[in-house]
Amino acid sequence: MIGLDLGSKFAKACSVFHRGDGTFTVYAAMSPAPKEDSKEEVSKTVKLLLRQLKVKKKELYLSAGGVELLARDFILPKISHDRLRGAVMMEAESNISESLDDMYSDFHVLSSPADNKTEVLFVASSKARIDKMINSLSLTDVDIAGLTADGVAVTNAFLTFNNKPTNGSIIIINIGDVISNISILDRGELKFIRNVDFGGRDITNEISSVYEIDFDSAEKIKRHPEVWNQIGLNVKNILKKSAGNLLEAIFRSMEYCVSKQRLGKIDEMYISGGGALLQGIDSFIWDTLGIKTAKWNPLESDKIKGAVNKNMGHFASVVLGLALAKEIVNV
């Protein structure tokens, strides 16, 4: 299976092969993102990525991201598998104000908190947005095997490739260019996902505003911390002004999970995505929220054997989880 993530800044593709001894061979490729409204550019980019992966099969798993992604968790009476879908849809229609007729939706069984109950994650995404994404691939010679939420894909990658055991409660934050994905796990089980309107672009815009320079110049400054002292840039002050949406979303997500008794307290936090490359962002989150925070590069996993471009690892958490195509939520 091939994972494909057509991000706003970079397009990523990945394929994963099980080696039979508990390790994996991973091929990953990345290129600048095409204009999403240009089928020709999308086709050219996808073909380039597939050539770099050197794969024959062209079955793709895609991600359904965006802040409009809807995720709700329900606790239902324990019923047979063939009746579960109907029960989930009835619960969703009763508890969600948005019109589900305008969305593609599915669900994922999280865990069974009691013998007579089942915990379910319901996910839905705009039909218009997904149809537009699928239509953008119409000039490519690929088969779309399914879609899943970004946060679920990140969780799949983390549970497979994290080098440390996941015994406690943790948060994974994947910081993209425009959108960040929040996943909360408890003892290795996914409990909550959310997308938030924050990304590396917000940090760049804040630098641009503070120094009254154009976006491209601000981006160069952000990527070169060796010049920060020369110009007096304090990255923590920049993050205080630009990352309010992210910090509030993390706090509210933790508060929600605790109130619903999904978990007790958060033990650790991991950040990935292109935004994780910003020097000092991990210590800023640690200091602000009081939670031990570390950067996570999935391509540095001990379970991955063979040559792989570890430098693109922070960008690969979504696409790596898509390539695994394992216990994912199809929407």
SS3 244: helix
Q: Is the pLDDT of residue 329 over 50?
A: no
- For 156, the token pair is 């799949």
Q: What percent of the chain has pLDDT over 90?
A: 53
Q: Is the pLDDT of residue 328 over 50?
A: no
Instruction: For 109-142, write each residue's pLDDT tens digit.
Output: 876 556 678 888 888 888 888 888 888 888 888 8
Q: Is the pLDDT of residue 71 over 80?
A: yes
pLDDT at 326: 55
In the chain the domains, ranked by start, together with CATH numbers, are: 2-68+125-198+243-324 (3.30.420.40), 70-124 (3.30.1490.300), 202-239 (no CATH)
Instruction: For 147-169, write each residue's pLDDT tens digit.
Output: 888 999 999 999 999 877 777 89
Instruction: For 193-241, write each residue's pLDDT tens digit.
Output: 999 999 999 999 999 999 999 999 999 999 999 999 999 999 999 999 9
Q: What percent of the chain has pLDDT over 70?
A: 96
Mean pLDDT along residues 15-41: 89
- For 20, the token pair is 């039979």
Buried b (16+ CB within 10 A) or exposed e, 165-186: ebeebbbbbbbbbbbbbbbbbb
Chain centroid to CA 97: how far? Answer: 25
Mean pLDDT along residues 28-46: 90
Residue 272 and residue 180: Cα distance in Å, rounded? Answer: 10
